[in-house]
Amino acid sequence: MKQALVKLLEKSIQAGIDKGFLPPVAPSHIEVELTKDPGHGDYASNVAMILASQVRKNPREIAKILSAEIEDRDGVLEKVEIAGPGFLNFFIREGGLARLLETVDRQGEQYGSSNLGQGRRVQIEFVSANPTGPLHIGHARGAVVGDVMANILEAVGYRVFREYYINDAGNQMNNLGKSLLLRYRELLGGTAEFPEGCYRGDYIRELASELLKRDGDRHLHEKPEELIPLFTDYAAGAILEGIKEDLLIFGCVFDLYFSERELYREDGVGKLLRELEEKDFVYREGEALWFRTTAFGDEKDRVVVRQNGDPTYFAADIAYHRNKFQRGFETVIDIWGADHHGYIPRMSAAVQALGYEKDALKVILVQLVNLLREGKPVAMSTRSGEFVTLREVVDEVGKDAARYNFLMRRSDSHLDFDLELAKKQSSENPVYYVQYAHARICSILRIAAERGHAVPAFAGADLSLLQLPEEIELVKGITRFPEVLEGAARTLEPHRLTFYLNDLAALFHSYYNKNKVISEDGALTGARLFLSRSVLTILKNALKILGVSAPEKM
């Protein structure tokens, strides 16, 4: 419909030019939008005002010319009005909008999908928590944002690859091994003094007793130098398995867990550094090797090889990102904690230095989650190992409520997550609001079938009977779905989907409370069932993208 109106406008502009009413002009693009106020018609365009500065005429005058030149051959328009400073308001003929439901009926589960991405390959890296401890609540938000973003991109036609970068190299890993060894010795009667940087969470203690059960005390007699790597591998392996399991339960499935160690094993970092040296992107100063990131907009150059000869985390990360592009991804999306925002210019600089477009790397920042219980903050401290794990949250409030709640804000704004609220089965909990609408429609369809009303086929439904303002609003809401998905994909803002769903559910709840879907009037019942099932299709499709279940009964 929107496209059709844009075409009509394009033609009318051309006609205006041909007849000499307008100088030869070409607006960059013609905007047609659904109106918020029924008094403004169904669709509106601001072209006349956009053209005003070029044409050097009063916008209302231009609008007048355009509306006179509109040739509505298919007869979809009731009328076109000029309003306000120069808006063109389109009123669609009665029943014209409802015909848009045909697409929903025809596409079913595919409705909302598009080919915006044209099959282009996108890699999306998220969570990527160090395997030094279980995932906690902070990781959960990044996991949902990444997973849903990936689903959205898939829906609009991208080929998406989901990846988790395992930070399994570096000092922290040694500290992990050391921590496990200390706990292991402690179990055998030793005393544990934890140096700086060690992990003292209970999960280490559990790993130690499992190891003791498996191997007995034989490690006690081996040399510490040989022991640490062994303990490190054991701990990292076990923790990573736990992470994968937690993510699976949370509904996040990855195509690849990419190991940093693997990167070193195949000399990815070494190759990268040699290449940077050849291209003169690095220089030596004070025994360290520096990357000229300032050449690409960073505020200072960054060290890639330390004085002691070890590459920095940044060096490995550059090598990893190059690896991504070498695998043929056109766009690479990283999801980071917002506290890493200062890292963006340097990574962007590196990507550009490697010869890729600046836009090829996109970063979504995810702000902190304030975990609350009954409005009061839950104390957490990573260092002491006291934190609420992702697993605990999912066990307590459920996957659906957790996932939905994490998408109730823009990802880059702070989010309060209240455990008690997320468990409540009430209107305070938005996930139920949407799921309830879904269950309610299922129930209506069930009862209708019992009473002998089947949902008619499109050809057999008289949708022109859908004339109530609420019905028109519902139809408009339904037709917005593909645009919402595309907008979320374009801006990388998954929260748009939850806001849209709340709106649509509200429209339906309101409609339901005011009107009977099933009545004595067979034709009207058929039309309303058709409309209701269209809403159901959207709810189902959208919830699937969110990774939230769509229950038929609650």
Nearer to RNA, 186 or 420 (CB): 420
What residues does 331 pair with on adjacent strands?
122
Among 73, 214, 218, 553, binds RNA (CB under 7 A): 553
- Cβ-proximal residues to 449 (8 Å cutoff; 6+ apart), any chain: none
What the block records as the tokens of 29 is 């693009």
Which tokens go with 433?
């609001």
Report helix angle 268-278 to 313-326, nearest 10: 90
Residues 297-336 that bind RNA (CB under 7 A): 299, 303, 306-308, 310, 312-314
Task: Tell which residue, 3, 89, 87, has the closest CA to residue 48.
Answer: 87
Can you tell me which residue has the tokens 């080919």? 115
3-class secondary structure, 427? coil
Q: Which of 9, 12, 42, 59 binds RNA (CB under 7 A)?
A: 59
Q: In whole angstroms, how close is the CB of 167 to RNA at the nearest point?
A: 5
Rule CB under 7 A: say whether 196 interacts with RNA.
no
Give whichever of 328 and 469 is closer to RNA, judged by the CB atom: 469
Binding test (CB under 7 A) with RNA, winner from 231, 281, 404, 432: 432
Q: Binder to RNA among 18, 26, 79, 85 (CB under 7 A)?
A: 85
Q: Contact region for RNA (CB under 7 A) — 50-58, 152-160, 214-222, 229-237?
A: 50-58
Question: Please, which residue, 168 or 184, has the CB nearer to RNA?
Answer: 168
- Footprint on residues 25-44 left by RNA (CB under 7 A): 33, 35-37, 39-41, 44
Q: How far apart are CA 16 and CA 18, in angstroms?
A: 6
Q: Which is nearer to RNA, 106 or 516 (CB)?
A: 516
Instruction: Give least dist CB 541 to RNA, A.
Output: 19
Residue closer to RNA (CB basis): 101 or 505: 505
Residues 160-179 that bind RNA (CB under 7 A): 167, 169-172
Nearer to RNA (CB atom), residue 2 or residue 121? 2
Q: Is 443 in the site for RNA (CB under 7 A)?
A: yes
Distances in Å between the Cα of 198 and the Cα atoms of 184, 207, 312, 400 are 14, 15, 20, 35
Site for RNA in 487-546 (CB under 7 A): 487, 490-491, 493, 495-496, 499, 502, 506, 509-510, 512-518
Q: Taking CB under 7 A as the rule, does residue 342 contact RNA?
A: yes
Q: Which stretch binds RNA (CB under 7 A): 187-195, 275-283, 353-361, 443-451?
A: 443-451
- Is the CB of 56 or the CB of 214 nearer to RNA? 56
3 binds RNA (CB under 7 A): no
Binding mask 458-487 for RNA (x = CB under 7 A): -------------------------x---x
Choosing from 326, 425, 454, 522, the residue that interacts with RNA (CB under 7 A) is 425
Least distance from RNA to the Cβ atom of residue 288, Å: 3
Given candidates 187, 212, 338, 472, which one binds RNA under the rule CB under 7 A? 338
CA–CA separation, 153 and 165 (whole Å): 20
Collapse the DSSP code of 372 into the 3-class scheme (helix H, G, I; strand E, B; otherwise coil) and give the result: strand
Answer yes or no whether residue 130 interacts with RNA by CB under 7 A.
Answer: yes
Q: Which of 6, 238, 288, 363 binds RNA (CB under 7 A)?
A: 288
Angstrom distance (rounded) from CA 16 to CA 181: 82
Q: Assess 398 for contact with RNA (CB under 7 A).
A: no
Residue 287 lies near RNA (rule: CB under 7 A): yes
Give the residue, chosen from 86, 177, 201, 251, that forms a contact with RNA under the rule CB under 7 A: 86
d(CA 402, CA 140): 9
Interatomic CA distance for residues 13 and 26, integer angstroms:
8
Stretch that binds RNA, among 4-12, 21-29, 48-56, 137-145 (CB under 7 A): 48-56
Which C-beta is closer to RNA: that of 207 or that of 550?
A: 550
3-state SS class at 435: helix
> What is each CA distance from 459 to 150, 160, 454, in whole angstroms?
36, 37, 14
**Coil vs helix vs strand at 266:** coil
Q: Is 287 left (phi over 0), alpha (psi -120 to 50) or beta?
A: left
- For residue 455, the 8-state DSSP code is P
Nearer to RNA, 186 or 301 (CB): 301
- Shorter beta-carbon distance to RNA: residue 211 or 421: 421
Q: How far apart are CA 16 and CA 287, in angstroms?
A: 71
* Number of residues engaging RNA in binding (CB under 7 A): 90
According to DSSP, the β-strands at 361-366 and 302-305 are unpaired
Please, which residue, 187 or 303, has the CB nearer to RNA? 303
Say whether residue 17 binds RNA (CB under 7 A): no
Q: For residues 146 and 439, what is the distance between their CA atoms, to the nearest angstrom? A: 27
- CA gap 175, 159 in Å, rounded: 39
The amino acid at residue 90 is F
Two tokens at 18? 């041909």
Our CB check for RNA shows the closer of 202 and 310 to be 310
Please give the residues from 216 up to 255 whose contact with RNA meets the rule CB under 7 A: none
Nearer to RNA by Cβ, of 28 and 191: the residue is 28
Supply the minimum distance, in Å, between the C-beta of residue 93 and RNA. 18
User: What is the secondary structure of 43-81 as a DSSP string?
Assistant: EEE-HHHHHHHHHTS-HHHHHHHHHHH---TT--EEEEE
DSSP state of 134: -
* Separation of alpha carbons 230 and 239, rounded Å: 14
CA distance 294 to 160: 32
